[in-house]
Amino acid sequence: MPMSKQVIAVACSALAIAAAAAGCGGSDDESLTKAELIRQGDAICKQGGETIQAELAGYVKDHEIGPTSRLTKENQEEVVLTIILPTLQAEAEELGELEAPEAEADEFTAIVEGLEGAVEKGEAAPLSMLNSAPKPLAEAGELAGAYGFEDCAQV
């Protein structure tokens, strides 16, 4: 009997360690260090950028758009609505799941909210994501850069 309790204890410990490493769990102190937050956040943003690039390449190929051709306004709007905005929304959701250090929670929340706000503006006016100045993502990118993000600042 003691052996099975030992196995359960080891399994529970392993799960607790895995949950802590993943940045999730049930304790009150789940926040990441700033360096961990930046590392995990930039990984999310980098993956989002790669997704957009890959899907855009597929879109160009599927629509037989040549290297010297330009996307029409209709193509641009479609790219924003079907590729860019869904990816940015997914990034915002993933970033929002991260726990910032308590002292910097407001600063990090402003970055996530800025990204969500840019998505909302893009849904209302898709071409503003590409053609307006400043672009809806500019503020979120500036906030992310000031916080220390690299990939997330490149939005």
pLDDT in tens, 62-106: 988 888 888 899 999 999 999 999 999 999 999 999 999 999 999
Q: What number of H helices and E strands is found in the chain?
A: 7, 0
Confidence of residue 29 (pLDDT cuts 50, 70, 90): low
Alpha carbons 123 and 52: distance in angstroms, whole number: 17
pLDDT in tens, 103-118: 999 999 999 999 999 9
Which residues, at least 6 apart from 18, have a Cβ–Cβ distance to it below 8 Å?
none
Per DSSP, the residues of 55-68 read: HHHHHHHHTT--TT
Work out the burial of residue 140: count CB atoms within 10 Å of its CB; fewer than 13 is exposed, 13-18 middle, 19 or more buried.
buried
Domain boundaries along the sequence of the chain: 1-30, 32-154
The tokens describing 23, both together, are: 């940045």
Residues in the chain: 155
| pLDDT score for 65 | 87
pTM: 0.77
Of 103, 111, 95, 105, the residue nearest 39 (C-alpha): 95
Q: Are 75 and 65 in contact (CB under 8 A)?
A: yes
